[in-house]
């Protein structure tokens, strides 16, 4: 429903967006950089991992995994995951088997899903509502599985009409063939389900920045920085208004100018007769705001936001060009 709607119309100072993007880029390059190996496989038994044949097998599997990740959309999805973590404290994506790329990763938009966790505090339940076009539904589930309304739209050539779809992933019943059950259904459909599928292991990758106790959804730097971000927008708006009044102040003048064109262009002239001591136009009030102090206040808020989002730390890591860094560093 909100496709095409302006998302940033209330943002005047873009420092919060810069901080979030820097955090996402820093976590991507620091944790899961596509330019270098960022994971290593081993065995529960340290002694077994030292055997030559085991090392060769682990290295071969690592290489294949990196190749699969590179060919998939993982590295396009991960920045969005880190961005959600930094702002909302919770992020979720699905790892689905793909006939072309082996595996495909689906980033779930924040606010479109609900999560639940097991007794071991692991995310194992996901419900979401999203939209698919008629063409996408037919491609994904087949025409026969779709509702009568979708079939009619498809046959009438209205392929790009959006339809609401719900999706649930949860542990299967005890003794079930698949450990996890995945069900898609169309909202308001005359059919029970679009598809019923299963997984041997959970495809839900639910990440939380930090949690406390029984919390399911996490907290984040963005939550701590929300007040400062709102304050920054207010300060920037007031500073811009003050600067505007200095450059283009409200004026007052004699009533004789009411029906006369008054030019504010440089080098132009407006003729006016002196009346009761009033000579032309002048500012309504003599106000000289301290723009430097207002700018310093804005800079203070920007620095606070950079600190809350660890911008200096991530920029230091990205700009470090040393080649003799030790493993401990």
At residue 230, the pLDDT reads 94
Q: Per this entry, what is the length of the chain? A: 329
Residue range 7-23: mean pLDDT, rounded: 88
Residue range 67-91: mean pLDDT, rounded: 95
CA 46 – CA 68 distance, rounded (Å): 27
Is 232 a residue whose pLDDT tops 50? yes
pLDDT digit string (tens) for 259-296?
777 777 777 777 766 665 556 677 777 778 888 999 99
pLDDT digit string (tens) for 103-154?
999 999 999 999 999 999 999 999 999 999 999 999 999 999 999 999 999 9
Residue listed under structure tokens 């207002």:
294
Per-residue DSSP letters for 44-62?
SSHHHHTSHHHHHHHHHHH
Do residues 83 and 71 touch, judged by C-beta distance below 8 A? no
283 Cβ neighbours under 8 A, 6+ residues apart? 249, 250, 251, 252
Q: Which of 36-40, 98-102, 163-167 has the highest mean pLDDT?
A: 163-167
Is 220 a residue whose pLDDT tops 90? yes
Helix (H), strand (E) counts: the chain: 9, 10
pLDDT digit string (tens) for 32-50?
999 888 999 999 998 999 9
- How far is residue 30 from each of residues 17, 205, 231, measured CA to CA in Å? 20, 19, 31
Bridge partner residues of 196 (DSSP) = 183
Residue listed under structure tokens 């949860």:
170
């Amino acid at each position: 429903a909100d496709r095409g709607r302006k998302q940033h119309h209330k943002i005047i100072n873009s420092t919060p967006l810069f901080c979030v993007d820097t955090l996402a880029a820093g976590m991507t390059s620091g944790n899961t950089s596509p330019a270098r190996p960022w994971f290593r496989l081993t065995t529960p038994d340290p002694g077994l991992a030292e055997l030559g044949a085991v090392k060769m097998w682990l290295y071969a599997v690592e290489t294949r995994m990196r190749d699969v990740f590179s060919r998939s959309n993982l590295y396009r999805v991960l920045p969005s995951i880190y961005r959600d973590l930094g702002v909302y404290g919770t992020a979720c994506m699905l790892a689905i088997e793909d006939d072309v790329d082996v595996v495909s990763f689906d980033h779930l938009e924040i606010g479109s899903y609900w999560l639940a966790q097991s007794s071991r505090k692991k995310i194992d339940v996901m419900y979401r509502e999203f939209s698919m076009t008629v063409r996408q539904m037919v491609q994904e589930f087949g025409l026969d599985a779709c509702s009568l309304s979708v079939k009619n739209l498809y046959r009438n050539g209205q392929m790009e009409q959006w339809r609401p779809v719900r999706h649930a992933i949860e542990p299967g019943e005890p003794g079930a063939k698949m450990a996890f059950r995945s069900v898609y259904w169309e909202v308001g459909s005359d059919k029970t389900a679009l598809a019923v599928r299963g997984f041997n292991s959970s495809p839900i990758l639910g990440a939380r920045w930090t949690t406390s106790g029984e919390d399911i959804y996490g907290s984040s730097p963005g939550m701590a920085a929300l007040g400062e971000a709102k304050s920054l927008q207010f300060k920037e708006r007031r500073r811009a208004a003050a600067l505007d009044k200095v450059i283009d102040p409200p004026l007052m003048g004699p009533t004789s100018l009411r029906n006369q064109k008054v030019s504010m262009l440089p080098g132009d002239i407006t003729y006016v007769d002196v009346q009761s001591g009033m000579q032309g136009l002048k500012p309504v009030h003599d106000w000289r705001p301290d723009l430097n102090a207002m700018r310093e206040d804005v800079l203070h808020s920007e620095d606070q936001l950079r600190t809350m989002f660890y911008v200096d730390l991530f920029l230091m890591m990205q700009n470090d060009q040393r080649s003799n860094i030790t493993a401990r560093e």
